[in-house]
Amino acid sequence: MYNNADAADEGKRRNRGRRNISEVFIHPRTFFGSPFQPDFLSDLNGTQAPVSSHPAPALQALSNGTAGYLLGPLSTRVIPVVYMLVVAVGIPANVAILCTLASKIRKVSCAILYCSLAVSDLFLLLSLFFKAHYHFHGNHWVLGEAACRVVTACFYGNLYCSAQTLACISVKRYLAVVHPFMYKSLPKRAFTAWVSVAVWGVFGAAVVPELLVRQSYWIPEVGRLTCHDVLPLHYDSHAFLLYYNLFLTVFGLLAPLVVTVACYGRIVRELNRSHHDWAMYIKASSLVLVIFLLCFAPAGVLHFLHCVKLFSDGTAGLYVHFKVAVCLCCLHACLDPFLFLLMSKSAGSRLYSRAFKGKTLSLSV
């Protein structure tokens, strides 16, 4: 006989099933937390702990690795020191590149792409300043929820923007070297202008979700107000971000990585087949490729594997590794200006226009 008690038990089982399913939908770039339970900390000191007097919503971190990361020297010393070094070198270097492009423009199409890259890098570097402040204060955010959303959106959005711009530059160089006749016939100014607009459109789409959901939560276990590091897995407002950020990882980091590797690999191959001395340009192109791989490949691959791991077993064990990879990824913001100067020198007056396999080849930076 199916009575009211059986119906109630069945409802509880369904609710537990829905909760178990919801645990899969975890924000991919963070540790995950659950709603804070007042009696969770009572076993720590034998007394009942208050929920929190902090105005931000409270979460309890479910992983021992969360507290270790938030309080450990990796996040409170190593990562912010790297961020500040990148800021100290990158901001003057990118400002200098913008001034150089404004005063000595050889090709407008090149200037458009490099200005776009320098501006994206500058936004990323400014967000690093605030993230370093957060890490130096023991992963405790004191600047408010609105600032947390803006800094998070600016930081991750400009990572995608920079990677895509670098991929566009590699395609431009590929066309100039491998298909010079096609390259000369293209409307390069209009084409690069529209490509830059499209890249910044992707940046806008990437930052909107980060601006719409709450990013800062109070973690009573460690006494920290985290920014983007711990987010609730049970909120519907955060569940869609797993799919969204997985999409951005594939098309914002991994796809530019594949394009850049393919373009520079073909460039080096074609130049090696030439009877002319392209050693300087080959070395410069190889260096650009290696730096791109070192900066972007670990972050893209680890983020993708992190999402797969969340889908498979619902754990966030790769988050710490991803944070280290993102720290490495930020190095490109201070290296891009020097790579621009290197490519400019390698494609200088002596090598700028040469016969290549019976064609006239014009290398552009």
Any idea of the CA torsion for 271, 101, 205, 197, to the nearest 10 degrees? -80
pLDDT of 343 reads 76
Which amino acid, residue 109? S
Q: Which of 28, 29, 63 is CA-nearest to residue 326? A: 29
Is 10's pLDDT higher than 80? Answer: no
Mean pLDDT to the nearest integer, 185-195 = 88
Any idea of the CA torsion for 156, 158, 162, 167, to the nearest 10 degrees? 60
pLDDT of 184 reads 86
Mean pLDDT to the nearest integer, 14-34 = 44
- Please list the residues that pair with 227 across neighbouring strands: 216
Mean pLDDT to the nearest integer, 174-200 = 88
pTM of the model: 0.79
What structural domains and CATH numbers belong to the chain? 66-348 (1.20.1070.10)
Q: Among 14-18, 70-74, 253-257, where is mean pLDDT lowest?
A: 14-18
Mean pLDDT to the nearest integer, 265-283 = 80
* Torsions phi, psi for 58 (to 5 deg): -100, 140
319-360 pLDDT, tens per residue? 788 888 889 899 999 998 888 888 777 654 344 434 444 444
Per DSSP, helices labelled H in 104-232 are: 108-136, 145-178, 180-185, 188-212
Distance CA 297, CA 325 (A): 9
Is 61's pLDDT higher than 70? Answer: no
